Amino acid sequence: MNHKEIIQSIQKEMKEFFTQEHTGHDWYHIERVWKNARKIAANYPEANQLHIELAALLHDRYDHKIVDNVEKAKLEVRDLLGQHGLSKELIEKILYSIDAVGFRNGKNPLQPISIEDKIVQDADRLDAIGAIAIARTFVYSGAHQRPIYTGESQEILEKAEQLEDTAIGHFYEKLLTLSDTLHTPEAREIAKDRHKFMREYLNQFFAEWEGLK
């Protein structure tokens, strides 16, 4: 199989796998991350493009939020990549990118090291910043029966310590912190407007909450 055939085959597999998932980690999230990754990667011809595209397409395939048995699902991904004729070395590199991509409340022990790891992580994080990220956050919160907001002061929210589990709280726990963690200048540039938009959204939200607008 050549590069294009491998990508097409894995893309098809992932589209089928994620048909039942609607909590913000659905196929369309995967597709956006894949597209973001390709866009950033276009500026890094020295990077392994196949590695980047496959890690982006597979990055949520064995996430604990999606599957019950992470180890089993990871083995399935190893097998899948093996069936597509990839070398053991490349497979392990792709799996490392996937293991390092997650935010995990800022507590992921693995850090992106290679340029491929960094591009995939940036691409995933971009989808957690901006207008679509706002929609994902409310869908996720709703799916977990959490409130929109319970009136915590903005001071407490900005400190982001031991916040209540609300959709608005998640902006402060995570979404607003992501821009500073991006690795590539290309992703940082895209994040700028998205970050600003989330701030504007929150300003409007609190103004309405307080009956000012």
Cβ proximity to Ni ion: between 116 and 157 the closer is 116
Nearest distance in Å: CB 25, ligand ADP: 6
Q: Is 58 in the site for ligand ADP (CB under 6 A)?
A: no
Among positions 54, 91, 157, 167, the unique one binding ligand ADP when judged by CB under 6 A: 167
Q: Is 205 in the site for ligand ADP (CB under 6 A)?
A: no
Q: How many residues in the shown chain lie near Ni ion by CB under 5 A?
A: 2
d(CA 65, CA 70): 9
Taking the C-alpha atoms of residue 39 and residue 63, their distance in angstroms, rounded to an integer, is 24
Burial of 38 (0-12, 13-18, 19+ CB in 10 A): middle
Q: Does 124 bind Ni ion (CB under 5 A)?
A: yes
- Residue of minimal Cβ distance to Ni ion: 124
d(CA 112, CA 133): 22
Helix intervals (H) in the chain:
3-17, 27-41, 49-58, 70-83, 88-101, 115-126, 131-143, 154-159, 167-173, 185-209
Q: Which two tokens stand for residue 24?
A: 């913000």
Q: How far apart are CA 122 and CA 174, in angstroms?
A: 14
* Among ligand ADP, Ni ion, none, partner that 65 touches (CB below 5 to 8 angstroms by kind): ligand ADP
Is 24 near ligand ADP (CB under 6 A)?
yes
Phi-psi region of 129 (alpha: psi -120 to 50; beta: other; left: phi over 0): beta
Q: Least Å distance between CB 175 and ligand ADP?
A: 6
**Cβ-based nearer residue to ligand ADP, 141 or 179:** 141
Q: Does 128 bind ligand ADP (CB under 6 A)?
A: yes
Reference 177, options 190, 163, 191; nearest CA is 191
Residue from 51, 61, 118, 170 touching ligand ADP (CB under 6 A): that is 170
Name which of 62 and 116 has its Cβ closer to ligand ADP: 62
Segment 54-73, which members bind Ni ion (CB under 5 A)? Answer: 60
What residues line the site for Ni ion (CB under 5 A)? 60, 124
Residues near ligand ADP, by CB under 6 A: 24, 65, 102-104, 124, 128, 133, 136-137, 140-141, 167, 170, 174
